[in-house]
Amino acid sequence: MKDKVVVITGGSSGIGKALAEVFGSRGSKILITGRKKGPLDEAVAELKAKDIEITGFQSDVSKEEDNESMAKEAIRQFGKIDILINNAGISMRALFEDVDLEVVKQVMDINFYGALYATKYCLPSIMDNKGSVIGISSIAGFRGLPGRTGYSASKFALQGFLEVLRTEMLKKGVHVLTACPGFTASNIRKSSLTADGSQQGESPRQENKMMTAEECALHIYKATKKRKKYLVLTGQGKMTVFLNKWFPGFMDKIVYNVMAKEENSPLR
């Protein structure tokens, strides 16, 4: 990965920031994006202090024109793009019957269309370099989670897009990885949207018992090096994917009961 140019959307914190450190510490040149200038600048400064060659680019992944500008900036700074990691994402928690549909649209705009736009504008350079497109999906892209309508829908859509892209790129030398973490400690649940679009604030899950963002990033790094097609993380995640394929009715009950145990769960 030395001297590879890696673009990471949503790189200010969590898995995105951990990915920037993992790739950057191994000699990759990094461009991370973020919507908020303050956290973006802080992340860049922290990673530069670790001798990582990195630049930040303020952008909103849900806006097509921002993604076009991002790709141009990466090529202006580093001359090429080898790897795109579609990491930017947002979650939500509310029953479908209660949720404002604008919340679902906002989640889709970031999680699905954001990846679509970023890939569209980075792909030409990635094709030239026979590089990689990576999508950070979720176990929720294999198994719909109650109370997470927009999130699960966006991840199912993302996985369909990545499968199409992987097939289209089969003879063109481009590697496409669908990475599916299980529950991972990050900021995503704190900024998760509620039924009316306001932020949840506190995570309803025990973050200290989850896989760390750093562990997750290292798994994704290794899968990228090996040019794997799928990466499903955590034992719980692998079991969920397997059982849901063969015993969907049974899993409806199991998943309902697990999610209903969350603090302040909307499931009644």
Q: Active-site positions?
A: 151
Tell me how far apart the alpha carbons of residues 26 and 248 are, in angstroms, rounded to a whole number.
42
- The answer to whether residues 90 and 188 touch, using CB atoms and an 8 Å cutoff, is yes
Tell me how far apart the alpha carbons of residues 161 and 135 are, in angstroms, rounded to a whole number.
10
**Element spanning 125, H or E:** helix 114-128
How many alpha carbons fall within 13 Å on the CB side of residue 158?
Answer: 38
Residue whose C-alpha is closest to residue 91's, from 200, 220, 206: 200
Tell me how far apart the alpha carbons of residues 82 and 169 are, in angstroms, rounded to a whole number.
15
- The answer to whether residues 147 and 267 touch, using CB atoms and an 8 Å cutoff, is yes
